[in-house]
Protein backbone atom coordinates (compact mmCIF):
# COMPACT_ATOMS: atom_id res chain seq x y z
CA UNK A 1 0.00 0.00 0.00
CA UNK A 2 1.32 3.39 -1.01
CA UNK A 3 0.27 6.50 0.89
CA UNK A 4 1.05 10.18 0.38
CA UNK A 5 1.30 12.46 3.42
CA UNK A 6 1.07 16.23 3.48
CA UNK A 7 0.19 19.20 5.60
CA UNK A 8 0.57 22.96 5.67
CA UNK A 9 -1.03 24.02 8.94
CA UNK A 10 0.05 23.56 12.54
CA UNK A 11 -1.78 20.79 14.39
CA UNK A 12 -2.14 19.97 18.07
CA UNK A 13 1.29 18.27 17.97
CA UNK A 14 3.13 21.07 16.19
CA UNK A 15 4.45 21.98 12.77
CA UNK A 16 3.47 20.10 9.61
CA UNK A 17 6.72 18.14 9.83
CA UNK A 18 5.96 17.13 13.43
CA UNK A 19 2.40 16.23 12.43
CA UNK A 20 3.60 13.95 9.62
CA UNK A 21 6.03 12.24 12.01
CA UNK A 22 3.23 11.70 14.55
CA UNK A 23 0.87 10.42 11.83
CA UNK A 24 3.43 7.81 10.80
CA UNK A 25 3.64 6.60 14.40
CA UNK A 26 -0.16 6.51 14.60
CA UNK A 27 -0.28 4.38 11.43
CA UNK A 28 1.94 1.86 13.21
CA UNK A 29 -0.18 1.81 16.36
CA UNK A 30 -3.23 1.31 14.11
CA UNK A 31 -1.70 -1.92 12.79
CA UNK A 32 0.36 -0.91 9.76
CA UNK A 33 3.90 -2.11 9.24
CA UNK A 34 5.94 0.65 7.64
CA UNK A 35 8.26 -0.81 5.00
CA UNK A 36 9.70 2.47 3.66
CA UNK A 37 9.35 6.18 4.38
CA UNK A 38 10.56 8.96 2.12
CA UNK A 39 12.38 12.03 3.34
CA UNK A 40 10.19 15.05 3.97
CA UNK A 41 9.91 17.59 1.16
CA UNK A 42 8.99 21.26 1.01
CA UNK A 43 6.45 21.83 -1.76
CA UNK A 44 4.44 24.81 -2.99
CA UNK A 45 0.73 24.88 -2.18
CA UNK A 46 -1.50 23.34 -4.83
CA UNK A 47 -3.19 25.00 -6.50
CA UNK A 48 -0.86 28.02 -6.39
CA UNK A 49 -1.94 30.55 -3.75
CA UNK A 50 -4.02 28.00 -1.81
CA UNK A 51 -2.19 28.74 1.43
CA UNK A 52 1.19 28.15 3.04
CA UNK A 53 3.62 25.75 1.41
CA UNK A 54 3.40 22.09 2.31
CA UNK A 55 5.53 19.39 3.82
CA UNK A 56 5.01 16.17 1.84
CA UNK A 57 6.23 12.60 2.08
CA UNK A 58 5.27 9.08 1.01
CA UNK A 59 5.19 5.78 2.82
CA UNK A 60 4.92 2.13 1.79
CA UNK A 61 3.06 0.02 4.32
CA UNK A 62 1.73 -3.46 4.83
CA UNK A 63 -1.48 -4.01 6.74
CA UNK A 64 -4.26 -6.61 6.89
CA UNK A 65 -6.79 -4.13 5.51
CA UNK A 66 -8.94 -3.88 2.42
CA UNK A 67 -8.63 -0.65 0.44
CA UNK A 68 -11.84 0.63 2.08
CA UNK A 69 -10.44 -0.17 5.53
CA UNK A 70 -7.19 1.65 4.71
CA UNK A 71 -9.23 4.71 3.78
CA UNK A 72 -11.15 4.51 7.07
CA UNK A 73 -7.91 4.30 9.06
CA UNK A 74 -6.40 7.23 7.15
CA UNK A 75 -9.49 9.39 7.72
CA UNK A 76 -9.43 8.51 11.43
CA UNK A 77 -5.77 9.55 11.67
CA UNK A 78 -6.46 12.80 9.79
CA UNK A 79 -9.30 13.62 12.20
CA UNK A 80 -7.06 12.91 15.19
CA UNK A 81 -4.72 15.64 13.97
CA UNK A 82 -7.45 18.19 13.32
CA UNK A 83 -8.17 17.66 9.63
CA UNK A 84 -11.37 19.42 8.62
CA UNK A 85 -12.85 18.78 5.19
CA UNK A 86 -14.32 22.20 4.50
CA UNK A 87 -12.73 23.10 1.15
CA UNK A 88 -11.43 20.90 -1.65
CA UNK A 89 -7.67 21.39 -1.93
CA UNK A 90 -7.79 23.78 1.00
CA UNK A 91 -5.28 24.25 3.77
CA UNK A 92 -4.98 21.34 6.17
CA UNK A 93 -3.17 20.04 9.20
CA UNK A 94 -2.84 16.58 7.65
CA UNK A 95 -3.69 14.97 4.34
CA UNK A 96 -3.28 11.22 3.91
CA UNK A 97 -4.02 9.94 0.42
CA UNK A 98 -4.20 6.28 -0.46
CA UNK A 99 -2.28 6.23 -3.73
CA UNK A 100 -2.29 2.54 -4.61
CA UNK A 101 -2.79 -0.97 -3.30
CA UNK A 102 -0.65 -3.29 -5.41
CA UNK A 103 -2.17 -3.33 -8.91
CA UNK A 104 -5.80 -2.98 -7.83
CA UNK A 105 -7.98 -0.73 -10.01
CA UNK A 106 -11.13 0.62 -8.33
CA UNK A 107 -13.96 0.89 -9.02
CA UNK A 108 -13.23 -0.04 -12.67
CA UNK A 109 -11.07 1.04 -15.62
CA UNK A 110 -13.73 3.28 -17.22
CA UNK A 111 -14.51 5.23 -14.05
CA UNK A 112 -10.81 5.59 -13.38
CA UNK A 113 -10.25 7.03 -16.87
CA UNK A 114 -13.05 9.57 -16.38
CA UNK A 115 -11.46 10.85 -13.16
CA UNK A 116 -7.92 10.66 -14.52
CA UNK A 117 -8.87 12.74 -17.58
CA UNK A 118 -11.03 15.27 -15.72
CA UNK A 119 -9.93 18.85 -16.54
CA UNK A 120 -8.37 20.83 -13.68
CA UNK A 121 -11.34 23.23 -13.48
CA UNK A 122 -13.69 20.28 -12.97
CA UNK A 123 -11.37 18.60 -10.44
CA UNK A 124 -11.66 21.61 -8.12
CA UNK A 125 -15.42 21.35 -7.90
CA UNK A 126 -15.97 17.59 -7.95
CA UNK A 127 -15.17 14.93 -5.40
CA UNK A 128 -15.59 11.22 -6.17
CA UNK A 129 -18.27 9.46 -4.14
CA UNK A 130 -16.27 6.23 -4.14
CA UNK A 131 -12.68 5.11 -3.71
CA UNK A 132 -10.67 5.39 -6.91
CA UNK A 133 -7.41 3.45 -7.17
CA UNK A 134 -4.75 4.14 -8.11
CA UNK A 135 -5.15 7.78 -7.16
CA UNK A 136 -6.37 9.27 -10.46
CA UNK A 137 -3.90 12.18 -10.54
CA UNK A 138 -0.77 10.79 -8.93
CA UNK A 139 0.98 10.78 -12.33
CA UNK A 140 0.45 14.57 -12.64
CA UNK A 141 1.89 15.72 -9.33
CA UNK A 142 5.56 16.16 -8.51
CA UNK A 143 4.73 16.59 -4.82
CA UNK A 144 3.46 12.99 -4.91
CA UNK A 145 5.89 11.37 -7.35
CA UNK A 146 9.14 12.74 -5.92
CA UNK A 147 8.61 11.18 -2.46
CA UNK A 148 6.92 8.13 -3.99
CA UNK A 149 10.07 7.48 -6.04
CA UNK A 150 11.93 7.17 -2.72
CA UNK A 151 9.69 4.36 -1.43
CA UNK A 152 8.40 2.60 -4.56
CA UNK A 153 10.41 3.61 -7.65
CA UNK A 154 9.57 0.37 -9.46
CA UNK A 155 5.84 0.24 -8.70
CA UNK A 156 4.06 0.09 -12.05
CA UNK A 157 0.82 1.99 -12.56
CA UNK A 158 -1.61 -0.79 -13.56
CA UNK A 159 -3.38 1.32 -16.19
CA UNK A 160 -0.62 3.56 -17.51
CA UNK A 161 1.87 0.65 -17.50
CA UNK A 162 4.68 2.93 -16.33
CA UNK A 163 6.84 2.69 -13.20
CA UNK A 164 6.99 5.62 -10.78
CA UNK A 165 10.45 6.57 -12.08
CA UNK A 166 9.12 6.99 -15.63
CA UNK A 167 6.06 8.91 -14.44
CA UNK A 168 8.37 11.27 -12.56
CA UNK A 169 10.72 11.63 -15.53
CA UNK A 170 7.75 12.64 -17.69
CA UNK A 171 6.93 15.68 -15.53
CA UNK A 172 8.20 19.16 -16.44
CA UNK A 173 11.58 20.00 -14.90
CA UNK A 174 10.14 23.09 -13.15
CA UNK A 175 7.56 20.92 -11.35
CA UNK A 176 10.22 18.52 -10.10
CA UNK A 177 12.51 21.40 -9.07
CA UNK A 178 9.74 22.89 -6.93
CA UNK A 179 9.87 19.84 -4.61
CA UNK A 180 12.83 20.40 -2.30
CA UNK A 181 14.09 17.95 0.32
CA UNK A 182 13.97 19.28 3.87
Active site (annotated) includes residue 97: yes
Active site (annotated) includes residue 53: no
Q: How far apart are the first and last CA of the chain?
A: 24
Active site (annotated) includes residue 95: yes
Q: Percent helix, strand, coil in the chain (nearest 5)?
A: 35, 20, 45
What's the rounded Cα separation, in Å, for the pair 26 and 35? 15
Burial group, residue 94, by CB count within 10 angstroms (0-12, 13-18, 19+): buried
Select which of 35, 85, 88, 97 is catalytic. 97
Active site (annotated) includes residue 175: no
Select which of 60, 83, 141, 150 is catalytic. 83
Residues 132 and 111 sit within 8 Å (Cβ to Cβ)? yes
Select which of 60, 95, 141, 150 is catalytic. 95
Select which of 17, 35, 92, 181 is catalytic. 92
For the annotated catalytic residues, the residue numbers are 83, 92, 95, 97
Amino acid sequence: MLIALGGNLTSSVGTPRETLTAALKYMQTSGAVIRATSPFYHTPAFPAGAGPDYVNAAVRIEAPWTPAQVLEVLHRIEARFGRERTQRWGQRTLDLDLLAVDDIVLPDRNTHKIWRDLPLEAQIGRTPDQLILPHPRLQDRAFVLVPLADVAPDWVHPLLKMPVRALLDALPARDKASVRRL
